[in-house]
Structure 1
Amino acid sequence: MKFAVMSKGDEVSNKLQQRIKTYLTDFELEYDDHEPDIVISVGGDGTLLYAFHQYSDRLEETAFVGIHTGHLGFYADWVPDEVEKLVIHIARTPFQIVEYPLLEVIVRYLDGGKENRYLALNECTVKSDEGSLVMNVEIKGELFETFRGDGLCISTPSGSTAYNKALGGAIIHPSLPSLQLSEMASINNRVFRTVGSPLVLPQHHTCMLKPVNDVDFRITIDHLFLLHKKVKSIQCRVAEEKIRFARFRPFPFWKRVKESFVKD
């Protein structure tokens, strides 16, 4: 089996990265950061997000597992004291694959240029580069509302615990292939009106954002910051691809939620 190890870059994570490399090569596994079967992320959720985007072109072949070296990571199952145990599991134990839905974002342009397609593990956010965001929101090809406010967040179920939660969105179990649209400080008065609540769309529904004004847009895809000009539309839907996590022991989603947000 081929493996790769990605580190957050701090001293603790770098030392763990080297230990894991040494241990797994001693078990006669092959280090290959181009076509790994498994990627071990050492750091936090940000490190795993970075690893996901590094290998987003081979999601059917690569599985991910996380070790958190700081605060509890939502995607990271393991702690540094368990490195030896994890290494033995990777080298000797067939692992279970758990798949989570992803978000597909397609940006199209007014000049008819080549569209850009992105995959997000957590979310996509859209903001105007000049003042309030004004967007027509279409669902399944029908105009739903004209949004005015600070911005919009479109999240995956696993990403529902991130920025979406801070915006008052619902936490959704990743077994439900869906996306969630949450508002950032919408303008609601006698003239302008939005639904004012997060929307959860199923897998077969597409959300299309169409600019009302010709302005530049700041679009984030997880941790990636992108500036887009002359945008015609931003299409969001559940992607056909999924991220694959290597599970060597049970770690139920609601236990993750409890340990991240409720447990003292």
Structure 2
Amino acid sequence: MKFAITSKGDSVSNTLMHKMRTYLQDFDLIYDEDQPDLVVSVGGDGTLLYAFHRYRSRLDKTAFIGVHTGHLGFYADWVPEEIEKLVIAIAKTPYQVVEYPLLEVIIRYIDGGREARYLALNECTVKSVEGTLVMDVEIKGQLFETFRGDGLCISTPSGSTAYNKALGGAILHPSLPAIQLAEMASINNRVFRTIGSPLVLPQHHTCLLKPVNDVDYQITIDHLTLLHKDVKSIQCRVAKEKVRFARFRPFPFWKRVSDSFITDK
């Protein structure tokens, strides 16, 4: 089996990365950064997001596993003290593959001759570079509302515990093939109205955001921040691709939620 390891870059994570690489190679596993079957992320959720985007062209061939060297992560289920145990599991034990849904974002431009496609593991956010964001929100080809406010956040189920939760969105189990649309400080008065609640859309529903005025947009795809001009529409839906995680032991989602937000450690 071929493997690669990504590190957060701090001294603790780098030390663990080099130790794991040596141990796994001692078990005759092949280190291959270009075409790995398994990618081990050492750090936090941000490190795994980086690894996901680095290997997004190999999602059907590569599985991810996380080792957290800081706070408990939603994508990292191993701790530094378990490195030897994890190495033996990787080398000797077949792993279970768990798949999570992803968000597909397609940005089309006014000139009509090009489009940009992105995949998000956590979320996409849309904000106006200057002033209030004003966008028509279409669902399944029908106008749902004209949004006015600070911005919009479209998240995956696994990303529902991140920015989406801070916006008052629901926490969705990652077995659900859905996306969620949450508002950032919407304007609601006698003139302008929005739904005011997060929307959960199934995989066969497409959300289309259409600018009402000609402005530039700051669009994030997970940790990546992009500036887009001359935007005609932003299409969001559940992606055909999925992210694959390698599981060597149970890692219950609701226990992660409880440990992260409720349980005192």
| TM-score bucket (shorter structure) | over 0.9
Residue 113 of structure 1: CA displacement? Answer: 2.9
Match of 1:232 in 2: 232
Match of 2:241 in 1: 241
Residue 146 of structure 1: CA displacement? Answer: 0.1
Q: Deviations over 1:20-69 (max 9, x none)?
A: 00000000000000000000000000000000000000100000000000
Match of 1:103 in 2: 103
**One-letter amino acid of the counterpart of residue 70, structure 2:** G
**One-letter amino acid of the counterpart of residue 232, structure 2:** K
Match of 2:208 in 1: 208
Aligned-partner SS, 1:160? coil
Give the whole-Å Cα distance in 1 for the aligned partners of 2:252 and 2:173.
10
Give the whole-Å Cα distance in 2 for the aligned partners of 1:2 and 1:131.
49
**One-letter amino acid of the counterpart of residue 166, structure 1:** A
Q: Does 1:158 pair with 2:158? A: yes
**One-letter amino acid of the counterpart of residue 40, structure 2:** I
Match of 2:113 in 1: 113
Give the whole-Å Cα distance in 1 for the aligned partners of 2:181 and 2:74.
21
Q: Does 1:39 pair with 2:39? A: yes
Match of 1:124 in 2: 124
**One-letter amino acid of the counterpart of residue 188, structure 1:** N
Percent identity reads: 80
Q: Does 1:59 pair with 2:59? A: yes
Q: Which runs of 5+ in 1 are unaligned?
A: none
**One-letter amino acid of the counterpart of residue 244, structure 1:** R
How many residue pairs are counted as aligned between the two chains?
264
Q: Deviations over 1:170-223 (max 9, x none)?
A: 000001100000000000000000000000000100000000000000000000
Cα RMSD after superposing both structures: 0.4
Instruction: State the TM-score, normalized to the length of structure 1.
Output: 1.00
Where does 1:159-178 land on structure 2 (aligned, <5 Å)? 159-178=159-178
Give the whole-Å Cα distance in 1 for the aligned partners of 2:195 and 2:73.
33
Give the whole-Å Cα distance in 2 for the aligned partners of 1:89 and 1:60.
22
Give the whole-Å Cα distance in 2 for the aligned partners of 1:234 and 1:180.
15
Q: Deviations over 1:108-163 (max 9, x none)?
A: 00011310000000000000001000000000000000000000000000000000
**One-letter amino acid of the counterpart of residue 155, structure 1:** S
Q: Deviations over 1:196-251 (max 9, x none)?
A: 00000001000000000000000000000000000000000000000000000001
Residue 257 of structure 1: CA displacement? Answer: 0.5
Give the whole-Å Cα distance in 1 for the aligned partners of 2:83 and 2:23.
9
**One-letter amino acid of the counterpart of residue 45, structure 2:** D
Q: Deviations over 1:91-114 (max 9, x none)?
A: 000000000000000000001131
**One-letter amino acid of the counterpart of residue 201, structure 2:** L
**One-letter amino acid of the counterpart of residue 255, structure 1:** K
**One-letter amino acid of the counterpart of residue 27, structure 1:** F
Aligned-partner SS, 1:161? coil
Aligned-partner SS, 1:78? coil
Q: Which runs of 5+ in 2 are unaligned?
A: none
Give the whole-Å Cα distance in 2 for the aligned partners of 1:140 and 1:258.
35
